Amino acid sequence: MGRYTGPACRLCRREGIKLYLKAERCYSEKCALERKPYIPGQHGRGRRGKPSEYGSQLREKQKAKRIYGILERQFRNYFEKAERQPGITGENLLALLERRLDNVVYRLGFAGSRPEARQLITHGHFLLNGRKVNIPSILVKVGDVIQVKEKSMESAKFKELQAQAAYKTPPEWLEVNADNLSGRVLALPRRDQIDAPIDEHLIVELYSR
């Protein structure tokens, strides 16, 4: 199954939380979840009841996939990689997802949402350690430097993002320089530095069935 191309706000309503897929719209009164706080579909208003154990685990996995914009096969690959690493599998999984380049660009404040960050990266607006990059799924390492191309900084879009980035605080594992739209990876993210509303242990239980 290919990437979801339908209304992004429908995904927020299905998960019952804001996934911040539409940048500024998510913070405004136009947010669909604020206007329609129920599951989408003909019978969305009438759906009640506590989900089963499996249902809760599945919903948590779907939520994580939608927050980070990951397809099923990609997500499974991340989980298997997390299993092979020392430490807690669930925390390893979230750390891998946070290290994706599109997420880092978003966390640095150089994009209004993760989908926007993916688009800007694929269009070649960013440099990674001085080299042009167009692959959103690259995993950054400690010491990596992410920067907007000098030519791209002249555009109205990045001038707007530059003004916004000056007022945003990145997570502790990242360092940002809003003046030249660059950022550095100071450390690998810890669980307490990841604010994604995900119960990773439910995902581990799902894949352990």
Q: Where are the domains of the chain?
A: 8-97+195-207, 100-185
Q: What is d(CA 153, CA 155) in angstroms, rounded to the nearest whole number?
A: 5
Look at residue 1 in the predicted model and tell me its pLDDT: 42
Look at residue 162 in the predicted model and tell me its pLDDT: 83
Q: What is d(CA 139, CA 123) in angstroms, rounded to the nearest whole number?
A: 18
Q: Which class for 180: exposed (0-12), middle (13-18), buried (19 or more C-beta within 10 A)?
A: exposed
Per-residue tokens: 24: 């500024």
pTM, full prediction: 0.80
Per-residue tokens: 126: 């960013």
In the chain, which residues have pLDDT < 50?
1, 26, 43
Q: What is d(CA 136, CA 159) in angstroms, rounded to the nearest whole number?
A: 22
Q: With beta carbons less than 8 A apart as the criterion, state whether 65 and 93 touch.
A: no
Q: What's domain 100-185's superfamily in CATH?
A: RNA-binding S4 domain (3.10.290.10)
Per-residue tokens: 178: 């809003």
Q: What is the CATH number of domain 8-97+195-207?
A: 1.10.1050.10
Look at residue 164 in the predicted model and tell me its pLDDT: 79
